Structure 1
Amino acid sequence: MAELYITRPLPDRVVARARERFNVTLREQTTPLKKGEMRAALVLYDVVLPTLGDMFTAEVFEGMQSARCKLLANFGVGYNHIDVAAARDIGIAVTNTPGAVTEATADIALMLMLMTARRAGEGERMLRAGKWAGWHPTQMLGLHLGGKTCGIVGMGRIGQAIARRAHFGLGMNVIYHNRSAKECDMPARQVGDLAELMGAADIVVLAVPGGADTRHLIGAEALAAMQPHAHLVNIARGDVVDEAALIAALQAGQIAGAGLDVYEHEPNVPNALRSMENVVLLPHLGTAALDVREGMGMMAVENAIAHLDGQPLLNPV
């Protein structure tokens, strides 16, 4: 039986499916693999099922031309932690799990949009601290999103799912910035450049892939283009935003607030962000629902099984 290495604990149903076709080694730690662990896994196993944080850089693949592993079946749609070209150069294919994450991630974006605009985190902290003195007409006035403009950066599957929620659910006008035009099933207008979108939107949602092309896409210049009442939401990858520039913009009152599910140096979140009342901080909950994680895991395992059976990979990248 072929050997499969799973780098983090996964839902029981996923592991049971994997064990139907593989000898499974399940790593119990929840932390990312270290370089030596990754190189050992390439030598010892036919397939490795890694996930976010397992940094399979070009350096990891050096000298691994004769490695036993021929597939990295990534658990997650994002694969910027894997140097796909370096893997391919030594005969290791990479797959991911698109589709399974779309709706759940869009839900988190919607939640962050509402929480930051309507000051939900701040209000809950006040109430839990026993500081709520009762309702009054000018208490905690936030930004009503109905009729406002939602600007989406990245109009792939997740971006379009966010756009549907914003338009049909909240009655927002949707604009987007994307490398190519998209055929959308909701009213949405593509704008010419990022600065135009940042300046026109009342709430900006980031839904671009991670990687070198999008690192610090949102920096001081982009943030300066935003309106003072506008909010920024990031459910993409942490390093899409220059965190230092975001902190500076928030401290200077350049923007009204932010809702973040991802961070530039996860799991480290700067004290400056944690101390701000106008920032909503979630611990990377994008796909954190049991049925979603089961779907992701099943897709990763089915890619591994296709590889084992000599069939075309379901989700090659």
Structure 2
Amino acid sequence: MQPSTVSNDVTVQSPKRQPPFMRRARPYLILAPALLLTAGILYPFVISIYYSLTNYSFKYADYSFVGLENWVYMFKNPDFYHSVVVTLKYALFSTGIQTVLGVIVALLLNQETRLAKSLRIVLIFPLMVAPVIATLIWQLMTNQSVGILNQWLRFFGVENFMWGADPKTALFTVVLIDVWVYTAFVIVLVLAGLRSLPQAPFESAKIDGGSAWFTFKTLTLPMIMPYILIAVVFRLMISLQEFSIIFALTRGGPGDTLMTLSLRAYVEAFTYKELGFAIPYMLVLWVIVFIASNFLIKYWSYSQRKASGN
């Protein structure tokens, strides 16, 4: 009796060829989501440019093309230049203070102690609060009659500090709220950069007797600069467009003290119902954000190459 044999032949099927139409359409199908997203961004932008050249108003059903009339009116209006100055001041002060505080606090928290671990969690809480809610909380804390901050100031001999009600202190107040809310964002990014740094250069510097300041200046700061610049890019872009904190606290006041470009556009569009006058303010703000972010991104690329030794 002969042993039976088992056939191990495996039939390999050739892959089914796609129709020529599908092969030609595949690149366009891959690009379709990006094209749709681009169209969704460009369409409102182009429409806004068109409406900035008209006298479109919420008060009337009809509108007509007026050319550069709205732009000429805006550039001749002294309020426009005041809004530009207020916008730049707010963005530079808030972003600068947040960056400095964020780097300092991140350096202090970059250690494995119980206090540092606890503070890493606690300092994230302001990011969980909506800016409008944070502003309302600060309104209560700065209230002249029941505000806890005024009670502390009286203890140091400061009476009747007006906070957002005084043109001299209004900008300080909104910047303080912005710093309280968003400094944690800078801390998180910088701390993530610090935790990812290689330890070999720092150990070599310690063996060679390098001081803490020398190590920070020559090793730590250049290596975490890309992370700092990422935080600066995001915070500067958002600060230039900031609306909620200023509107919730003073609505651009007292007077027009805090009337930024975004608030000026809001007033023109929804208070005076003149959308054609409002859009140029937002387009100028877009140009400012574009120039600032483009410059910072180029510098970020340079700092990244420098940090990697190229």
The verdict on a shared fold, with TM-score over 0.5 as the criterion, is no
Q: When the two structures are superposed, what TM-score results if normalisation uses the length of structure 2?
A: 0.23
Structure with greater proportional helix content: 2
Q: When the two structures are superposed, what TM-score results if normalisation uses the length of structure 1?
A: 0.23
Structure with greater proportional strand content: 1
Which entry has the higher C-alpha Rg, 1 or 2?
2
